[in-house]
Chains A and B, each alone.
Chain A
Amino acid sequence: MLYRSSWDIINIMKSLGFKKTEQILSCYGIPLCPSRLTVEKSEALDFAGEIGYPAVLKVSSLEPIHKTDLGLVKTGIKDKKELEEAWDELNKKKIKKEGILVQKQLFGVEVVAGMKRDSQFGPVLMFGLGGIMVELLKDVSFRIAPLKKKDVQEMMKETKGYQLLSGFRSQKAVDLEKLIGIFLSLSELSLNESEIKEVDLNPVIANEKGVWVADPRFILN
């Protein structure tokens, strides 16, 4: 793989840093929602101006933490003023961080794409709908890599939440082809990059225009 050579310089860390995460995603053609990691408030403001509001700020940390539970995520930031306030609040948080992530806030169905390694079968991919569908209802499905397009389709249709993707009430169907593409790329990635132990793309935002990973996490061996 293209990416292989740059592996050498990665620090031995549990979770992969944002820059590297971004590179891997791009290398496998997995779209990331417009994001910039920075430690400068002015850069955050410039970037938000570029991509447009509403924006999201997230503390980026290599520690295995649940960001929402710790109040490290600010969503629905409407303008420059709100962004400055949110920045100051997050910047004060006493947590080891590599910076603060500025993202465009996207709307759509929240999907989870995961990968874990099974001792017998190797990389196993997980699909589920975000939020309580995964956490509470365990409405998820699994497939072993390598996945074919047909496998991804079947995997999605197996869940009850699939209806939300194919159009429910007034909601338009999401771009399923692109969503399938994410799983095919993740399948390839999991077979190539043995250094990555686990992947958690949660959430992936899917709407009729496309799909974007909003929160990627790669856990290393």
Chain B
Amino acid sequence: MDKLNRIFNPKTLAIIGAKPEEKSVGWGLMKNALQGKSKRRVFAVNPHHKEVLGVKCVPSVMSIQEEVDLAVIAVPAKIVPKVVEECCQKKVGGMIIISSGFGESGKEGKLLEDKIKETARKAGVPLIGPNCLGVIRPGNLLNATFAPALPKSGEIAFISQSGALVDSVIDENFKKNYGFSALISYGNEADVTLADFLWWAVEDPKTKVIALYLEGIKEGREIMNVFSEVSAKKPILAVKAGRSRAGKKAVSSHTGSLAGEYPVYQALFKQTGVAEADTVRELFSSAKALAWQPKCENGIAIVTNGGSCGVLLADYCQELGVKLVELSEETLKKLNKPGVMHPAYSGRNPLDVVGDALSDKYKSAIEALLEQPDIKGLIVVQTLQIMTETEKNAKIIIEAKKKWKDKPIIAAFLGGPITAPGAKILEDNHIPNYGDLKEAALAIKSLIKK
């Protein structure tokens, strides 16, 4: 999807409909655009104003001397066709239409949408939207949206049919450690479609995992092929909204698309290798694991210093089809040497190193398990006793990870502020940590090769 490259990496950016009034969309777009002024020149286009946030306004995109790579359009729907016309004459690299009042709003809007689509296609200028939030590329300091802020840069491409959801995902990201290669709200897909963004993401070197929020799909048969081909190269996770009767009704009034029959979507995901997440939280907690850890064959081990957590996690693993591997004689021989483990240690998978375990016990356990060839991945659980060495434990995991690069390790350091420093060390080093065992089980499941 080379045609999207100028959009995601613009040297010049024009905000058409930039406005000085605080809290207006045109103001928000301008404010966000200027965050990237070290990377690109930003133009404000508005014939009714002189200046927006210190940038002189020009009356139309035609009056900009330089080439324009990306034009973001936020003007009333009725004026959009004229602006699109001008952008095409100006041969901009791409357009994002934020404005609503198109296909989602009825017949008249649909006509308007068809018109701008035709203009854009004729000129060969890619058009994103209309009725969308825009796109964000944190690594480039590109924020062509009116989202509240720029999230962390990272490996997840979040492609969403909803714009508002993107906004809250960004805010939540401030207290998370994962980051984004791109955030894309694709709106009505008049020209550039979900399929185009998927093709782009699969080629994008920064993207390791694709996270989707979907309501309805427009070209079912095409998407089926795209999902299959893309998911063979990069993992795709998806949350589907409009699963129930109540949800379906809400979808048609929201994006104007049809939610379709949920069992058919379930079949689609299964057949094309797309992993379905139940909630938005699960979407990103699994995406985090896929962004940071390699995939593995089915066969994992659990280390824990709390028997209960081992039991609960084993339950979740079985429910999710994650296999717990039996410990080999060789592994047990290592662990049974005097002084290596607590006398009351479990001697089986889940490996309970017992509550008072210091980090030397964790080290011996983790290494013995990872040395066993048929153990393909590891979950390390830590509950918090007064003697638990949470930071040391975290460092041991990081060292083990360096040695066994191909085996994913995820952590479930359970607790609050006392555990937090350990959790931080883990995540700073890209060991995904989960505060809940079910989340940890779901994360390891997403890492298992089909």
Task: Give the B-binding residues of A (Cβ under 8 A).
Answer: 118-122, 124, 141-144, 151, 154
Complex CA–CA separation, A142 to B263 (angstroms): 7
Can you name 10 extra interface pairs (CB under 8 A) apart from A120-B216, A143-B271? Answer: A118-B220, A118-B264, A119-B258, A120-B258, A120-B264, A121-B264, A121-B268, A142-B266, A142-B267, A144-B268
Complex CA–CA separation, A141 to B268 (angstroms): 12
| B271 contacts across to A, CB distance below 8 A | 143-144, 151
Main SS of the interface on chain B?
helix
B217 part of interface (Cβ distance < 8 Å) = yes
Report the minimal beta-carbon distance from A186 to chain B, rounded to whole angstroms: 14
Report the minimal beta-carbon distance from B244 to chain A, rounded to whole angstroms: 15
Whether B221 contacts A122 by the Cβ 8 Å rule is yes
| B268 contacts across to A, CB distance below 8 A | 121, 144
| A144 contacts across to B, CB distance below 8 A | 224, 264, 267-268, 271
Our count of residue pairs bridging A and B at CB distance below 8 angstroms stands at 41
Complex CA–CA separation, A26 to B268 (angstroms): 29
Report the minimal beta-carbon distance from A148 to chain B, rounded to whole angstroms: 8
Assess A124 versus B258: contact at CB under 8 Å? Given A118-B220, A144-B224.
no
Task: Give the A-binding residues of B (Cβ under 8 A).
Answer: 216-221, 224, 258, 260-261, 263-264, 266-268, 270-271
| B266 contacts across to A, CB distance below 8 A | 142
Report the minimal beta-carbon distance from B194 to chain A, rounded to whole angstroms: 13
| B264 contacts across to A, CB distance below 8 A | 118, 120-121, 124, 142, 144
| A119 contacts across to B, CB distance below 8 A | 258, 260
Main SS of the interface on chain A?
strand
In this complex, the member of A121, A141, A143, A151 whose beta carbon has the largest number of chain B beta carbons within 10 angstroms is A121
Report the minimal beta-carbon distance from A120 to chain B, rounded to whole angstroms: 3
Q: Which of B220, B263, B270 contacts A120 (CB 8 A)?
A: B220
Q: Which of B216, B267, B270 contacts A124 (CB 8 A)?
A: B267
A–B Cβ pairs within 8 angstroms, 25 of them: A119-B260, A120-B216, A120-B217, A120-B218, A120-B220, A120-B258, A120-B260, A120-B264, A121-B224, A121-B260, A121-B264, A122-B221, A124-B267, A141-B263, A141-B267, A142-B263, A142-B266, A142-B267, A143-B267, A143-B270, A143-B271, A144-B224, A144-B268, A144-B271, A151-B271
Assess A121 versus B263: contact at CB under 8 Å? Given A143-B271, A144-B271, A151-B271.
no
Closest to A144 in B: B267
Complex CA–CA separation, A198 to B267 (angstroms): 18
Complex CA–CA separation, A122 to B224 (angstroms): 11
Closest to B263 in A: A142
**What are the 8 closest A-B residue pairs judged by CB atoms, nearest first?**
A120-B220, A121-B220, A142-B267, A142-B263, A143-B267, A118-B264, A144-B267, A124-B264
| B260 contacts across to A, CB distance below 8 A | 118-121
| A122 contacts across to B, CB distance below 8 A | 220-221
| B216 contacts across to A, CB distance below 8 A | 120
Report the minimal beta-carbon distance from B428 to chain A, rounded to whole angstroms: 39
Whether B224 contacts A154 by the Cβ 8 Å rule is no
Whether B270 contacts A121 by the Cβ 8 Å rule is no
| A141 contacts across to B, CB distance below 8 A | 263, 267
Complex CA–CA separation, A120 to B223 (angstroms): 10
Complex CA–CA separation, A119 to B270 (angstroms): 19
Report the minimal beta-carbon distance from A198 to chain B, rounded to whole angstroms: 14
| B221 contacts across to A, CB distance below 8 A | 121-122
In this complex, the member of B219, B261, B268, B271 whose beta carbon has the largest number of chain A beta carbons within 10 angstroms is B271
Closest to B262 in A: A142
Report the minimal beta-carbon distance from B209 to chain A, rounded to whole angstroms: 23
| B258 contacts across to A, CB distance below 8 A | 119-120
Complex CA–CA separation, A144 to B264 (angstroms): 7
Report the minimal beta-carbon distance from B113 to chain A, rounded to whole angstroms: 19
Complex CA–CA separation, A128 to B264 (angstroms): 15
Closest to A118 in B: B264
| B219 contacts across to A, CB distance below 8 A | 120
In this complex, the member of B219, B221, B263 whose beta carbon has the largest number of chain A beta carbons within 10 angstroms is B263
Report the minimal beta-carbon distance from A127 to chain B, rounded to whole angstroms: 11
In this complex, the member of B258, B267, B270 whose beta carbon has the largest number of chain A beta carbons within 10 angstroms is B267
